[in-house]
Chains A and B, each alone.
Chain A
């Protein structure tokens, strides 16, 4: 009996200091790597919180932007494959609802190949520019381009107008919304109105709260516990707002400044280095569907971004900063989809190679492999489905079939 008791005491005598040492070391590790935030850091984290996302910004160039009837019309147009040259490609082919309204191909694949990676549409209402190179300055004007692009839907505006004119549901909705039947309007006007209805739908795609937002919200209330994010994620967050300087461009509640930056990405095989914003500026200026054009529902006073657009040499090879809120299941990354996964993206920024054309604005970061892993872990906490009622994510044509 006493022998057993003695053994237990010895075991306790050994275990207690070992356990204490482990706890002390763990605590030291906790406070050093992921411990409490300073005031400045709390403010930086707070600025990324989704709760700060402003109300949907108005689009004065689109008179039906916030008309629910337009969103309903746009929802069906978005999923309608008849708006393509081969009858098989809709907006939703590349902007897949279950993939954060992006896809998994390096470059978008419509009726043919394209040159750029499909960007997510979630949150695009908050951006003054659309596309990687910002060659469109409104959601409605962007929505027009794929309908005619030879690699995307390739239908042409006449074919689009015909689809609307020959479908009773479309005809009635269109007439009630725009006041005239699609057959009685000039084809360009019908085409533009299709874009405006699509935009009314796309405006509803608001990013949903992520695990990071839960943490940031708790932090505001002063009740954030490590458990909401893992130690690696917290360490990654610290790097994100500090040493890794991600927040320089990926700032605000959408994790993007919507500006154009050259980050020195490699050209795609068989293609010349992408001039990006340099060409995008020229395109938007000559675009009849831009903010200053006759199809815009606003006057030039609403076109500050276009009137004061930067076209200097720094736009060479520059691309729009993507939001980091829709990364889940949308690999590969980069404007050409040449970067297979997030660890490769981070390795690229860590190295910051000289740009093939123009000038890489980023500088080498000198992050260790562990730090890169922590950053990647943090990015994993930024993913959530869009905050929108389920009905808007479904293909209305499937719903129609089931109802029949």
Chain B
């Protein structure tokens, strides 16, 4: 029963691996690093991938596309400077005669690019990720050109990457060998995944159910300089309901710490996601909240949207004293 999906998954992994094969030879501005395709726009980096959603669903391509059709280009910025600047993307027909070895200087030699241009959307300023869509009408050799300029500089950062659309007549040759290697790799990889999944299931099994357990306690910073006393309000917290925490900060000698800046981050490590809200901490000294009057703070806008293991990290800056306190919760 279980054999079928596993072998299908393995096959899918192998096929996925194969489709990345042409990218194993770095050329131009796009290279493969650790199974991820990277575009180097000058010194600025972004994850790069192309999809053929209509024809190939969720299969990613690094550069070369197996067929002409509706293509979605995705650049996920790795350099934050790219979030704020317009990025110019253009596809031209590759008439350099150099095929996949065409480089930046070969583009310069082409002179006016407009007659060769097949696709040139207006420059896009898009925080986080650049996406654009082009439908290739004919197979052939193309060159992608990405350009941008950072504020306060005249330097034009450029990536040039030649790629093929359709027509891999010879590329099936190494397939059998690669298929075997890929299959072996997929089996091993699946084994690891399976183990991890079991571990997570075990975690879920061990977690408390129904009402979340009470959340109050004391935690000491990594540097041992600051002690954080915390209590959820209401306690225990209700899953998926906005609520506050009362906090109290003390130094090593037990003296209350007022006027500290506290930044909160966190999430669920097992799910690779952060907090669903952006909670903030404000001083609450003098407010009527039990004994939390001195060194007292209020953490507002907290919400846990699922049961499981959560981590909250408090970066505390009290001028003379800094520390980072982590609080692990099991909801």
* Residue pair B242, A356 in contact (C-beta under 8 Å): no
Distance in angstroms from A300 CB to nearest chain B CB is 12
Measured between alpha carbons, how far is A312 from B58 in the docked complex, in Å?
A: 24
Of B19-27, B96-104, B160-168, B266-274, the stretch lying at the interface with chain A is B266-274
Q: Is A34 an interface residue (CB 8 A)?
A: no
Interface string of B286-310 (1 = CB under 8 A from A): 0000000000000011110111100
Query: Is A350 in the interface zone, CB < 8 Å from B?
Result: yes
Select from chain B the residue with minimum beta-carbon distance to A262: B273
Cβ–Cβ contact A364 & B193, under 8 A = yes
- A364 in contact with B9 (CB, 8 Å): yes
Per-position binary interface string of chain A over residues 340-371, scored 1 when its CB falls under 8 Å from any chain B CB and 0 otherwise: 00000000001101101111010111111110
Q: Are A357 and B131 in contact (CB under 8 A)?
A: yes
Check B274–A368 contact: CB distance below 8 A. no
CB distance B272 to A310 under 8 Å?
no
Q: Which residues of B contact A272 (CB under 8 A)?
A: 72, 131-133
Main secondary structure of the interface of A (DSSP, over half): loop
Contact of A314 among B9, B76, B273 (CB under 8 A): B273
A314 to B244, CA, bound (A): 23
B58 & A367 in contact (Cβ 8 Å cutoff): no
Of B53, B193, B205, the residue contacting A266 (CB under 8 A) is B53
Contacts of B276 in A (CB 8 A): 259-260, 310
Please determine whether A308 and B242 come into contact, CB atoms closer than 8 angstroms: yes
Q: Is the CB of A40 within 8 A of B60?
A: no
A309 at the interface (CB under 8 A from B): yes
Residue of B nearest to A259 (CB): B305
Report Cα–Cα, A264/B57, bound state, in Å: 11
Instruction: For the complex, give the distance between the alpha carbons of A269 and B135 in Å.
Output: 11
Contacts of A245 in B (CB 8 A): 200-201, 204
B276's closest neighbor in chain A, by CB?
Answer: A259
Most buried by A among B4, B133, B209, B279: B209
B274-A312 in contact (CB<8A): yes
Q: Given A273-B131, A313-B128, is A361 in contact with B54 using a C-beta cutoff of 8 Å?
A: no
Residues of A within 8 A of B224 (CB): none
B277 touches A308 (CB 8 A): yes
Let me know if A366 and B197 touch, CB within 8 A: yes
Q: In the complex, A198 Cα to B205 Cα: how many Å?
A: 43
Out of B9, B58, B306, name the residue touching A248 (CB < 8 Å): B306
Bound together, the chains give a CA A314 to CA B301 distance in angstroms of: 18
Point out the residues of chain A lying under 8 angstroms from B5, CB to CB: 350, 366-369
**Chain A residue nearest in CB terms to B132:** A272
Distance (whole angstroms) from the CB of B28 to the closest CB of chain A = 23
A-contact 0/1 string along B198-222, CB 8 Å cutoff: 0011001100011000000000000
A47 with B209: in contact, given A251-B306, A308-B301, A354-B58 (CB under 8 Å)? yes
Residue of B nearest to A38 (CB): B205
Rounded to whole angstroms, the CA-CA distance of A368 and B2 in the bound complex is: 5
B306 engages A257 (CB within 8 Å): yes
Inter-chain contact B53/A368, CB cutoff 8 Å: no
- CB neighbours of B205 from chain A (8 A): 40, 242
Q: Are A369 and B1 in contact (CB under 8 A)?
A: yes
Is there contact, CB below 8 Å, between A309 and B278?
Answer: yes
Partner among A304, A312, A359, A370 whose Cβ is within 8 Å of the Cβ of B272: A359
Interface string of B218-250 (1 = CB under 8 A from A): 000000000000000000000110100000000
B299 to A: closest C-beta gap in Å = 10
Whether B307 lies near A307 (C-beta < 8 A) is no
Q: Judging by beta carbons under 8 Å apart, are B209 and A357 in contact?
A: no
Would you call A354 and B60 a contact (CB within 8 A)? yes
Given the contacts A251-B306, A366-B194, A273 and B74 also touching, CB distance less than 8 Å: yes
What is the interface size of chain B, counting residues whose CB is below 8 A from a CB of the partner? 54
A249 within 8 A of B: yes
When distances are taken between beta carbons in the complex, the residues of chain A under 8 Å from B54 are 269
Which residues of B lie under 8 Å from residue A128 when comparing CB positions?
242
CB distance from B14 to the nearest CB of A (A): 15
B52 → chain A closest CB, angstroms: 11
Task: Indicate if the CB atoms of A357 and B129 lie closer than 8 Å.
Answer: yes
A311 adjacent to chain B (CB < 8 Å)? yes
Residue of A nearest to B190 (CB): A366
Given contacts A269-B53, A272-B72, A366-B5, A44 and B280 within 8 Å (CB-CB): no
Contact between B72 and A311, CB atoms less than 8 A apart: no
Q: Does B70 contact A (CB under 8 A)?
A: yes
Q: Does B51 contact A (CB under 8 A)?
A: yes
Q: How far is the CB of A143 from chain B (nearest CB, A)?
A: 23
Residues on the A chain within 8 Å of B72, using CB: 267, 272-273, 356
Is B175 in contact with chain A by the CB < 8 A criterion?
Answer: no
**Is A6 part of the contact surface with B, judged by Cβ < 8 Å?**
no
Residue of B1, B57, B273 touching A368 (CB-CB under 8 A)? B1
Question: Is A316 at the interface (CB under 8 A from chain B)?
Answer: yes
Nearest B residue (CB) for A45: B209
Write out the residue numbers on chain B whose beta carbons fall within 8 Å of the beta carbon of A268. Answer: 53
Interface residues of A in 111-128 (CB under 8 A from B): 128
CB-based nearest B residue for A304: B242
**From A254, which residue of chain B is reached at the shortest CB distance?**
B240
Contact partner, B239, options A251, A316, A350, A358, Cβ 8 Å:
A251
- Could you say which residues of chain A place their CB within 8 Å of the CB of B318? none
User: How many angstroms between the C-alpha atoms of A63 and B254 in the bound complex?
Assistant: 48
A245-B204, A258-B240, A368-B5 given as contacts; is B58 within 8 A of A353 (CB)?
A: yes
Q: In the complex, are the beta carbons of A357 and B74 less than 8 A apart?
A: yes
B156 on interface, CB distance cutoff 8 Å: no
Q: Are B1 and A370 within 8 A (Cβ)? A: yes
Query: B271 to A248, Cβ gap below 8 A?
Result: yes
List, sorted by A's number, 22 A–B pairs whose CB atoms are closer than 8 Å.
A40-B205, A47-B210, A242-B201, A243-B201, A245-B204, A248-B271, A251-B240, A257-B305, A260-B276, A267-B72, A269-B53, A270-B70, A271-B133, A272-B131, A305-B242, A353-B57, A356-B74, A357-B129, A357-B131, A366-B193, A368-B4, A369-B1
- Using CB atoms and an 8 Å cutoff, list the residues of chain B in contact with chain A: 1-2, 4-6, 9, 12, 49, 51, 53-54, 57-58, 60, 70, 72, 74, 76, 127-129, 131-133, 193-194, 197, 200-201, 204-205, 209-210, 239-240, 242, 271-280, 300-303, 305-308
Pairs A-B, 3 closest by C-beta atoms: A308-B301, A43-B209, A259-B305
If A259-B276, A356-B49 are given as contacts, then 20 extra A-B residue pairs at C-beta distance below 8 Å, sorted by A number, are A47-B210, A128-B242, A248-B308, A252-B240, A257-B239, A270-B133, A273-B72, A310-B274, A314-B274, A316-B129, A350-B5, A351-B12, A353-B57, A356-B51, A357-B131, A363-B193, A364-B9, A366-B9, A368-B1, A368-B2
